[in-house]
Structure 1
Amino acid sequence: MGFAEVKQHRPSGYGFVLPGGVRVTASADPASPVLRRFFEGYDRAFVLPDEREELDGFEKCLALNATHRHAFGRTHCELVAVLEDETGTLLGGINFLATAIDRAGAPPAAVALNYVYVEEAARGRGLLRQTLSAVRSVALTALDLDPEGPPPAIFIEQNDPLRLTPEEYAEDTAHSGLDQVDRLAIWARVGARVVDFPYVQPALSADQQPDDGLIYAAVDYPGEAVDAGLLHDHLESFFTISVLKGEAEPPGGAASRQIAALTGRTAPVALLPMAPALDWLRMGRGVEGFDSFRDLAREARD
């Protein structure tokens, strides 16, 4: 799995040493100092109002490890992690939900990679691939699955450059120092493909709005489509724990609509390559008539 060392410190915490000496410390405990360390960098990295959590939101999610470990008859674990060098300098952070999936022919688990960031001074070191490898292994370990077995599916939300307002596009690009299209290209290089499903992130809190300006992508998923049952189970767990934090959603909300659309579906959900759509944008071709990057990816693929 690409680790020099992997060991479990306690039921809620894990430690890793990646190749090159990068140290990863992960915890599922809302009282852990790992959460505060993670939030230091997170607070700098995420600025758009409907995409970010406050510290108490992360605390609520991690607290659900005590009450929602086996919700829906599936095993879950929400974690935060930090990456540091040998001197303790923060390099990056991760927040993700791991869910065990019992579906024939599907990966054994699904991971919602809720937030991942790399500190500006640490970019260009190849940390993303190492981070994904770490996430895969700790997710399986946290779920009591074989860390040397088949890897979990990984899903991630990304800004949709066709859905952002010019102001949002400029603000996030200026803050991160990375253009929205360039960011998608980085993820495309590690195997991210667009899930061809009308994804909307439910509101993260009562003071926020659902976010329909996101791309939902699967990272290095086996095959050309995602098992619909796996996507249903994954989103049901993700929405309940990481987004809604165990609270009931108002009737007819974004979460329940998407779960209903996947309930009983047998046809797999197609995965769309990003590269053709990214080339389309780089060449300056028009995007009139395309409501989202997902629509563009479907057209550019054909």
Structure 2
Amino acid sequence: MKNDLFKDFVATRSHINSNNHGNIGFKNNYISYEVNFFNSGNGLSYCAHTTKCNNELKLKVARGERDYYSIFFNHKGSPNVIKSKDKTFILNEGQMCISSAPRYDISRYYKSGAEYNTQTIVIDKNLADRLNISKLITKFEFGTTNITLKQRQIFHELSRVNLLNSEFQGLFLEAKILELIYYICDDNSLEVTSLSNDEIKTLNKAKDIITTNMQNPPSIKQLAKMCATNEYKLKKEFKEYFGNTIYGLLQEKRLEKSKVLLEMNDISIKEAANLVGYASMSHFSKIFKERFGVFPSWIRKK
């Protein structure tokens, strides 16, 4: 099992290292792993990982030959357990941490039955030195901090890169990643949200309601009433906290679920569209192509 799993990861990493951007992954009896990646070619790279485990796993990243910084983000999903040097981090949802490599091996632990949705930014030390941010990055090393609202918004923008023409994707991704690094390193840019814990709970409740009722979601007026708030406040704070509008986030979740359904290959495109709340096939195909860069029929053939 370990040898097969190791070969799968080696093949995946080899593909990432030899290409500028793309999507790759594998699935076996032990793990389902998918990664969207981008390499700028000048010392900056970004990966968005989705990992589902059927067994407990430990993956070790050994020391490499070049110096770089890895910034780990647990944007959503199960807590990540990361061990670097003599410290172990519990990276909960909504947190980030920074580690230097290759000075230390990095081990990541995965629990059986858990799903992990993480992002990693890798910055070559030479690039960090040129940008004069090495000292700022190391200041945060071996500690966790919360992901700010502004950083959440950037993650959302990164997830929509397929909306752009391919010739602009690299430029857009590099600009957004550098913007994200700026908001990590610049103390003055750290945002203090005015949202209370109760308001955040209300926003998460609203999100849960619309994502569990995709076929027949409530109107914003009904949603506000269900969450004991008013429409204006709900729309404003929802956009601030999640970096997307209510119906924008609903569309994202609908498309993500439809893609998963189509990948199962046991339902038709029309059935998948209907299950997530789309009655018009032409509209569904259009926005699916905008989001993922391919039509639903391509997913079925794959």
TM-score by length of 1: 0.27
- Which structure is richer in relative contact order (CA contacts within 8 A, separation 6 or more)? 1
TM-score by length of 2: 0.27
